Every structure is written in C-alpha cells, then in structure tokens.
Amino acid sequence: MSRSNQEHLTAQGATLDDFELLAKISQMLTLMDRDHVLEQVIDLSSQVVGAERSSLMLNPEHSQEWNPVFFKRQQDGQVIERLGKDQAIHFARRVIDKGLAGWVVRNKQGVIVADTERDERWIVFPDGTSAARSALCVPFIYDDDVLGVLTLLHSEPNHFTEHHLRLMTIVANQATVAVRNALLFDQMERQKRQLEAILHAMPDTLLVLDDAGRVLLVNDAGAQILGSSLSLDDLRGRALSEFLANDSVLGIINEIVATPIETGQSWSFEARSEQLRHDYLVTVSVWENTFGGTAGYVVVMRDITTLRDLNRFKDEMLQMASHDLRSPLALIVGYCSLIALDTPEDSPIQEYLEIIQKSTERMKSLLDDLLRVEQIRNSPLEMNEQINFRDLVQTAVDNLRLSAANKGHQLTTELSLDGIPGIMLNPVLIRESMENLINNAIKYTPSGGKIVVRSYHQDDRVHFVVEDNGVGIPKAALPRIFQSFYRARQPGTENVEGRGLGLSLVKTIINRHHGEVWVESEEGKGSRFGFWLPISRS
C-alpha cells in the first residue's frame, strides 16, 4: 500500500493496523474450531487496543450458565488461559449479575469506562485481583440476542478511545458470525454423529443413491448387500452398477434406478438374496432436492427371512392339522356312532356320546374353515367364467331364505343391476362371501328383524351390501372385525355360535378379486356390511 493511501486511511480514523486486524479476523471466520477462532479474536483485539487484561464470555445457546471462555494476561506475556469449570461459572455469574458485562448484556451495546473509580457500572469485587482503571466492553449480538461479551482492561484511566470502541464493535460483529458458524457446524457434526449411530444400529439395509445411482450413504448391512470389502466411506461415490454381480437383488434395484421416474414415487417388492440366503422386503423411494427435482433414491431392505420361515412353518402346521388331526377326529365320530348303537337308548351314555360327537364335529369344521382360508389365500383363483352377477346374488339370497324365515326375519332384496356386463370372478367364492354376510346378519339380529340385501353397479364397480337392524358392533371392535378368530362378543351374541373366521374369509376372497370390503355399524341399532368388485371390461 502506498504512503498516500496510508495517510488517507489515518485521516478517516482507521489505521493500517486496524485494517490488518479486520482482515485477519475475517480470514479466521472460515475456521470451524470455535475456540481457536475466539482465542485469536481475544489475542488480536488486545494487541490492537493495547489492553493489559481481557476476558471473553459466551452463551451462544442461551442456557442458564454463561461460560467464560478465555482470559488473556498480556503483562504475563501473551498468556491465554481457560478457566476451570467451577471457577468459570463463579466468575461469569458474578460479572453477569452485577458487573460491567452484565450491563452490556442487558443494554445490548458496547461501552467504555474511562475511569473505573468514577463509574458506577464498574463493581469492585472484594476478592478481585484486577486493578483496572479503564475498560472497554462489547457484546456479540446475533438476531437481537447477546451470544457473548468481550471485555478489555487497562491499568491507566482513559486508555480506551471511541475509535477503539467502534473497532471492537466491528470485531465483535465478525466474531459473532464465527460463533454462529461454529455453533451450526457443531450442530451439524452432532447430527451427523447421531445419523451415523442410527445407521449403524439399524438392522435394516439402507442405501441412499443419487439420481445417477451412485452411493451417497450406506450402512453396514448395506455394505454387506453390496458385497464389497470397501469401507463405508470408500463406498461413497461408487456406482451401484459396479456391484451388480455381487447380489441378485441389486439388479432389480438398478433397473428401477435406471428408468426415468416421477418424484414421490416408491416401489415395494419382495426379493431373495441368493448370496446371503435371506429374503427381503425392499422399498425404493425417490427423494427430492429442494427444487422439487429427483435427488436420488432411498433403498430400505427389511430382512423377512424369519417371517417367511414362520409362514412356511404355519403352512406345514396347517397341513399337519389337516391330515393328522382330521383322521383321528373322523375315527372318534365313527366309534361314537358304533358305541351308540351298542348302548341302550335310555342310558345316560347316549347323552355323553352326543356331546363328544358334537364337540368333535365342531373341531372338524374349525379345521375345515382354517384350511379353507389358507387354501384361498395361497392357491390361484379360478376366474375364467363370465358370471351373471344378478343370478349370483339371487342364489345367495335364496340359499338363506329358510334360515332367515326360521328366525322370523324379513329378508328383502333391492337389486339395480340392469345392463351389467358379465364379470370375471370365482362364482363359488363370491357366493360364499355373500352368504357369509347374509348369514351373519341373520345370526346377529334378534328374531323378527329386517335384513335388506342391495346390489347395484356404478362406474366400473359392482356393489353388494347387507343391512340389518341387529345388535350392531361396538366402535372399539370395528377395526378388528375382519381379523381371523376375532369375535366382538357384544351383548346379545352370547348364544351365537361362531369361530371368527367368516369375515376374514370374505376379506381374503374380495381382496383376491381386487375389490374392497367395508363395514358401518352402531351398537344396538344394526350393521351394514358390503364389498365392491371391479368390473373389468376386457
């Protein structure tokens, strides 16, 4: 810088030293180590204003406690010290409660105390060791909050000037940015560590990819699927396509990543890793960047091997039940009939035999129902017939007319199915579902009730509804009504026989036809059960 320039600056009240100080402090703002930055701030500021002692206190998180970070004793030769925790808290409390720093925090402005002996803002503490006669104190203000206070002291009165105050105010503003940056950086680091801890702890496989299919983030389980010996850090930036040979599942994911997609989309599918010999439920979701574009994909893979094993075990158990339990039950029923033949009619044994026979029949039909649910759930549906839906409804209703009449119910139909095309469905199963709903209405309505069966078509759906004025279903039971073996056992149903499998069967059948089943009910007033099925026009 030329000499004339230097004179010009001096004329404005700022010296080259001041500018150098500001330049140095600005440079330091790029440092992320907060303590290091503040050490430099206190050191440089003290030098520039010729302070003999200085202190810097921080409370960036506005907690209860202020934290004196540093002290500088220039007389002792450039010593910067950090107080121990207890000592620091004691000091901070004292100066923030009563001292000059407290005044600055409350008034949110910098101040010069020209002579400590003549200024009431300066408090001399009984055990104070500072023999300061002048002081300069500036706050670090961010968003109207005081995050810190820098105090500079000198043993001579009138040491600090207005120019010093202006300069230190600029320094404090700069330092505030550094404190904020460091705080944010700290928070980010903390969040990053939290995220890493979560990622390591989670048993699910996680892969975060960018829109070109490169790995952004991966956890231990993810690295296993990638089948690479690279560290998690080294995996970052590698393309998923590099690892396709290592696991069959990766190929499916890569196909999704390779096709153009819309934001907000997600895919779920089950896949088996032949390499790890595990089954997974894989979910691939698109995540968006802040501009709404595709930023990449989040792949979560849940290990469902145990679930699958359990399912297999359940199927085996059911098969065992079907063969190994049904035959002895048939034997019991058969032998009971034989014994009955050989027993005098007036013997009490006849009654016992009847009870055994009835209970055995119940066990047998429970097994039949169970097997039926499993069979419908697992075997392919035969849907190769164009069925006349009106005839199907009519048959179901006709099949139950007698049992409705036996309870004195009025069973009526309201059908609005004119012009409905033939529908592809499994007639046996759909009729069974209709009968199940009508039968429930008959069972759960006290004698002399009214049951209406409605069926109509609308848009691409055909609807089937059964309405009764029976006992109804308590609100709390409604969400569970379609679960296997669930019975609401509401008042009025004590003598109604059932195993809680009918509605679960209906739901399975309707879902397998890509329809939906629903219920509305009010306890004591009645229920309305229904389902719709899609009318496919193919």
Residues in contact with ligand ADP by the rule CB under 6 A: 440-441, 444, 468, 470-473, 481, 486-488, 490, 493, 498-504, 527
Minimum CB separation from ligand ADP for residue 444, in Å? 3
**Which lies closer to ligand ADP via its Cβ, residue 142 or residue 486?**
486
CA–CA distance, 272 with 315 (Å, rounded to integer): 20
Minimum CB separation from ligand ADP for residue 513, in Å? 18
**Which lies closer to ligand ADP via its Cβ, residue 282 or residue 473?**
473
Minimum CB separation from ligand ADP for residue 440, in Å? 3
Instruction: Kindly report the number of other CB atoms within 10 A of residue 337's CB atom.
Output: 11
Say if residues 425 and 387 touch (Cβ distance below 8 Å): yes
**DSSP classification of residue 239:** B
**Which lies closer to ligand ADP via its Cβ, residue 328 or residue 479?**
479
CA–CA distance, 247 with 228 (Å, rounded to integer): 10
Considering all CA atoms of the chain, what is the largest pairwise distance in Å, rounded to the nearest integer? 136
Cα-Cα-Cα-Cα dihedral sign, residues 264, 268, 274, 277: positive
**Which lies closer to ligand ADP via its Cβ, residue 190 or residue 362?**
362
**Which lies closer to ligand ADP via its Cβ, residue 1 or residue 476?**
476
**Which lies closer to ligand ADP via its Cβ, residue 228 or residue 493?**
493
**What are the residues whose beta carbons fall under 8 Å from the beta carbon of 134, sequence distance 6 or more?**
112, 113, 114, 115, 116, 153, 154, 156, 157, 158, 159, 160
C-alpha to C-alpha distances, 454 to 417, 440, 459, 462, 468, nearest whole angstrom: 10, 15, 17, 11, 11
**Which lies closer to ligand ADP via its Cβ, residue 251 or residue 500?**
500
Say if residues 138 and 128 touch (Cβ distance below 8 Å): no
**Which lies closer to ligand ADP via its Cβ, residue 334 or residue 491?**
491
Q: Taking CB positions, which residue lies at the least distance from ligand ADP?
A: 498
Minimum CB separation from ligand ADP for residue 363, in Å? 15
**Which lies closer to ligand ADP via its Cβ, residue 240 or residue 501?**
501
| CA 267 from centroid of its chain's CA atoms | 17
| CA 62 from centroid of its chain's CA atoms | 30
Minimum CB separation from ligand ADP for residue 455, in Å? 17
Minimum CB separation from ligand ADP for residue 445, in Å? 7
- DSSP-derived 3-state class of residue 329: helix
C-alpha to C-alpha distances, 57 to 40, 63, 122, 302, 354, nearest whole angstrom: 14, 13, 17, 50, 92
Minimum CB separation from ligand ADP for residue 418, in Å? 28
Minimum CB separation from ligand ADP for residue 392, in Å? 20
- Sheet with strand 294-303: strands edge to edge: 215-218, 205-210, 294-303, 278-288, 266-273
Minimum CB separation from ligand ADP for residue 358, in Å? 17
CA–CA distance, 313 with 376 (Å, rounded to integer): 18
